Every structure is written in structure tokens, then in C-alpha cells.
A and B are shown apart, each in its own frame.
Chain A
Amino acid sequence: MTELRRIAYYFRRKHFAMFGLLLVLALVTVAVLAPQIAPNNPHAVSRDRFLSPGADARYPLGTDNLGRCVLSGVIYGTRVSLFVGLAAAATSTFIGILIGSMSGYFGGKTDAFLMRFTELFMTIPRFVLALIVVAFFGSGLDRLILVIGVLSWPGAARLVRSEFLSHRNLPYVDSGRVSGMSHLRLIFVEILPNIIPPVIVVATLDVATAILLEASLGFFGLGDPNLRSWGGMLSRAQSHIRTAWWMSVFPGSAIAVTVLGFNLVGDGLNEAANPRMQIEGGST
């Protein structure tokens, strides 16, 4: 509770963190209310191709090469980005907690092995591997989430490990051990709740990275073919960059604003929870 109050205090004082939080809340609202807000069906093609913004009141941000509404595409794209971002970050955080806690709690050979394994995952170029996996196994939403999640856990694992290392010999853990608690109970019931704040920081920054990765895959033509996503819109914009700037500018701004929102919240939480230490975010 005191932790929460401290973070709330910090967010009120630091405008950038508050701004990020408001951005994220606004985006969630847009995603939830997409059918109510969007002026058109995002998939509906029309004969009004390449309408520039403002040329037709029905399409405030113009239309694309198939005559689809850009604004409606951007609004519905919020759903895809947020859903993939949040679900993939939840997946990677979950895996990171499992591997990091075992590594830090047991130490020794378990730790050495798991850390080599983590290092291997950090070495593989995530984007290239994700491309290949999606190219082999298909690019449905569930697969995108799974691929991004499974390739993004090393950051969380390393953090959880270092937290467990600093907790495992503290008196409260020792006394639990002496009184005969099982390893599972010590890991998940005793230690884990104490390290939640830094884990949330990493998870928040992971949402931003996952959204960027999903957009990058979409840009390579490997998004979910049945959904309009920001990356997919930018991929189409690439072929018409000389004629239709609006096909690029609006979906791109949407990605940048969303990623910025989660990064600001993550940075804010990080500084609030731990003013001296900086947790380094991941990368595409």
C-alpha cells in the first residue's frame, strides 16, 4: 500500500509519467470503443481511392489504395497493437519469472545452466527468428503473441534472477526454510510478492517492445491477414509513399504515440520504485 502511495505521489509530481499514463488510458478507451468511434467499417473497400485527408467528410484522414478509411483502420489497429502488446508481455513476464526465480533461488549449477540458456536467447536476433517462425507456422494473432512472448523473456528472467539472488539469504527466507517450507512455497508465496514492483517495470517496457515487434512483423507482411494493423498499413503505404503521405503518417504516429506512452509509464514506475537504478528496456 505504501508502495502504491509512493508511486501515485511520484506520478502526480512527474508530468511525463502522468502524460504517459493518460496516453495509455486514452488508447485503451479507443480500443474498447472502436466500433462506436470509427466512422467506417475498417475493411470496407470503396471506389474513393487515395482520397486525401479532408477531401471528403466521410473519411477524415483520407482513404488508402483500396478506398478504405484510414482513420477507421488506425482506430481498429489500436485493438491489435494493445492486445498483442499486453498478451505478449504477460507471456514473456510469466516465462521470465519461472526461469529467473529458479535460477536465482537454486543458484549453482541450475543457475549456470539457465543463464547460458538465457544468453543463447539474447544472442539470437529476435526479429529474424520471429520472421522465420511466423513464415513457417502462419501469422494468426495467437501465434504472433506466442512468438513475441516466447522470444522476449530474457530481460524479465535476468531481473527476477538478480532479485531472487538478493532475497534468498535474507532472514525471512532463512526462517521459512528452517520451519520446513517447500521450495515452491518459498519461491512463489514468500519471495515473489516482494519483487513485484521491478517486475511490473520490466513488463511495462516489454509491452512497448512487443508492440514495436508486432508492427515490424506487420511491416514485413507477416501480420494477421484478417485484421488491419498499423504495421500492415505502413507496409501498404510504402508502395504509395509518393502519392499518399497520409497512408504512412497516421498509422506511424499511432505506433509512436502508443510506444511512447508505455515507455513513459515504464520509466516513471522505474524511477518511482527505484530512483537510483535504471532498468534498461529491450529492443526490437
Chain B
Amino acid sequence: MSGSGAGMSLWRYAAMRIVQSLPLILGIIVINFLLINLAPGDPVTALIGDFPAPAEYIETVREQFGLDQSLGVRLLTYIGNVLQGELGFSFNYRVPVLELVLARLGRTLVLMITTIVFATAVGLGLGIMAAKWKDSPLDKFAVGFATVGYSIPVFWSGQLLILLFAVRLGWLPSSGLRSTRIAYEGLALYGDMARHMILPVLALSLRYIALTTRLTRSSLIETLNSDYVVAARTRGIPATRILWNHGLRAAATPIITIIGYHFTFIVAGSALVETVFGWPGVGRLMYESIGARDYPTLLGILLMVSIAVIIVNLITDIVYAFIDPRIKYD
């Protein structure tokens, strides 16, 4: 059936990848279950958190999660509960965990997506210039920046940005989602929120820019030295056109891969950055929940973030297959 066209096999590939993701989701639910049951003390503590819950609520949780049943029955009950979106109740915030995390998710996603777009653009630009003028001072700067940027912990770059732009220069706010003293409305409110986002996004971007720069540079240099590019050059095709037509196409694939594979790292980074900048997203929620020993919230975050990672990996894999026709669908 080799003549059926790439479209068909791409769809089949996408469907196959979706089916392959299901065991991963199941695996993550099982890991959550193991954490609850292996934690020292009564598993009910892991399901409720360290709070003086009313006795009847504890009884309800025991019943709902089948805690007096055998381990196998408990596992099935737990999987059933999770699949119905039953992630427990946060005593710290007095709302169901699912609702709590979903309410915060948007703010974290805004931070993450802005970072990915900004950092990919800057990293691509820097990487392209470094590869085009290899061994120039600019290239040396880009390589140095990438190496150092990759070694700085995000929470510390956040603190440095606060020290410089908020404490010393007083140009930008150091924390929060919006100003508390002035109540902005309409467009001004968005402007105010954007101002609050500048420093967190910069802090979160640093490592990501470093990574993208490195990868773009190395894959472009490799492509520009390959036989077909050298052949294109000897045929007199302008260097810039070669760069755009061949180079970037080749560089696009590793970039998409890092967006997928390093999504987990952006998740970790945004947790730390949100804590530094008091950004009220999922990361900040995690920090607060550790302090409050709010275990169901922590476990709910782990589950939902893991599923988000699986979905992002799935999307990048499919986009990757779409862009790079050489990929084998197996």
C-alpha cells in the first residue's frame, strides 16, 4: 500500500501515537497510587492532607477509595476515581483539587507559552547568526551565553532580575499578577499584567534560550556542511536562500523536539519562577501546598501536569512527523 500517500500514514501514525500514550497515562495514575500507599503512616493522610478533617469525612474518603479493601481492589477503585475526575478535596483552600488546579492552570500556561514563543524566537535568531558567522565574535558570544545561561538556576536568575530591575532601578514590579494599589480596567489592566510578566518570562527564558541557541547552531552548522548544501552553493544559489530553504528546515525538527522533551523542564522552571515572583499559578500552588502539607493538591498537580506533558509530547511528535517526511512511521 505504498501508493496510498503520506496523508494516510500520517493519520495512522497519529492514531497509533495516541493509543501508545494511554499506557503512559495509566502508568502515571499507578505511580500516584503507589505514592499514596507507600507514604509513611495512614494512606488516608495522603488523600486528605495534614488537616484535622471531620471524622465523617475521613470515613467517606476511606469508603470512596476502598481503603479497607485489598490492594488490588484499591488500585482499581483509585483508577476509577481519577478517570471520573475525582482528585480529592483540598482542605487548605476548601475546594475540590480539580477545580483548584484548573483555576490556576491558565496563569501558568500564559507564562509558559509566552516563554516558549519568546525563547524560541531569540534562541533561533541567535543560533542562526552564530552558525552563519561561525567563529566570529558574535558566534563566540552566543556559545558563551548559551553555556553560562544553561548553568544558572532559574530561581536565581529571577532573584537577580528582581535585584536589578525592581530593587535598584525600580522599573518593573517584582511580584504578583497585577498592581494592587491602582485598579486598572480594560486595556490598561492587560498592560499592567504584561508589565508583571516581563521579569518572570525573562527568568524562565534564560535556560531555554541557551538550549535553543546551542541546538539551532549545531544543527545548522551540520546542515550547511552537508553535501547537498555544498552542491547548491556551487550551483550559485544565494547563501541566504540556502539558509532559509535548507538550513532552517533541518533546524526546525530538533527545535520542535526540545519543545516537547523539555516541556517538563519548563514545568519545573515555572514552579520555581512563580515562587520567586509570587505569580499565582500552579507552581505557586505547589509551593503553598508543600508548606500546608496539602497532599491531595500535590498529587493532583503531579497527575495533571504529567498528562499535560504526555499531550504536548504527542502533539510535537505528530508535528515532527508532519514536517519531516523522512520519519519512519513505526
B319 at the interface (CB under 8 A from A): no
Residues of chain B lying within 8 A (CB to CB) of residue A123: 24, 28, 264, 306, 309-310, 313
| Per-position 1/0 for B225-250, Cβ under 8 A of A | 00000000000000000000000000
In the complex, the answer to whether A116 meets B265 with C-beta atoms within 8 Å is no
In the complex, the answer to whether B298 meets A132 with C-beta atoms within 8 Å is yes
Looking at the assembled complex, report how far the CB atom of B262 sits from the nearest CB atom of chain A, in whole angstroms.
6
**Secondary structure dominating the interface of A:** helix
Number of interface residues of A (CB under 8 A): 46
B85 at the interface (CB under 8 A from A): no
In the complex, the answer to whether B24 meets A120 with C-beta atoms within 8 Å is yes
The residue of chain B having its C-beta at the shortest distance from the C-beta of A247 within the complex is B159
| Per-position 1/0 for A253-284, Cβ under 8 A of B | 00110011001100100000000001001011
A128 to B274, CA, bound (A): 14
Partner of A216, one of B24, B40, B262, B268: B268
| Per-position 1/0 for B199-212, Cβ under 8 A of A | 00000000100010
Question: A131-B290, A220-B275 are known contacts. Are A234 and B302 too (CB-CB below 8 A)?
Answer: no
The interface stretch among B52-60, B119-127, B144-152, B189-197 is B144-152
In the complex, the answer to whether B310 meets A248 with C-beta atoms within 8 Å is no
B269 at the interface (CB under 8 A from A): yes
- B8-38: which have CB < 8 Å to A? 23-24, 27-28, 31, 35, 38
Partner of A263, one of B40, B151, B154, B162: B151
Partner of B23, one of A116, A131, A133: A116
Partner of A255, one of B39, B40, B150, B156: B156
B130 at the interface (CB under 8 A from A): no
| Per-position 1/0 for A124-167, Cβ under 8 A of B | 11111101110111000000000000000000000000000000
Looking at the assembled complex, report how far the CB atom of A92 sits from the nearest CB atom of chain B, in whole angstroms.
16
In the complex, the answer to whether A245 meets B24 with C-beta atoms within 8 Å is no
A281 to B151, CA, bound (A): 11
Residues of chain A lying within 8 A (CB to CB) of residue B295: 132, 135-136
19 contacts between A and B (CB under 8 A): A122-B261, A124-B306, A125-B264, A125-B309, A126-B264, A126-B268, A128-B271, A132-B35, A222-B290, A234-B155, A238-B275, A248-B159, A255-B153, A256-B151, A256-B152, A256-B156, A281-B150, A283-B207, A284-B269
Known: A123-B306, A126-B264, A132-B299. 11 other contacts (CB 8 A): A120-B28, A125-B268, A128-B268, A128-B286, A132-B295, A216-B268, A219-B275, A221-B291, A259-B151, A264-B147, A278-B218
Report A's interface with B, CB cutoff 8 A.
Answer: 16, 116, 119-120, 122-129, 131-133, 135-137, 208, 212, 215-216, 219-222, 234, 237-238, 241-242, 245, 248-249, 252, 255-256, 259-260, 263-264, 267, 278, 281, 283-284
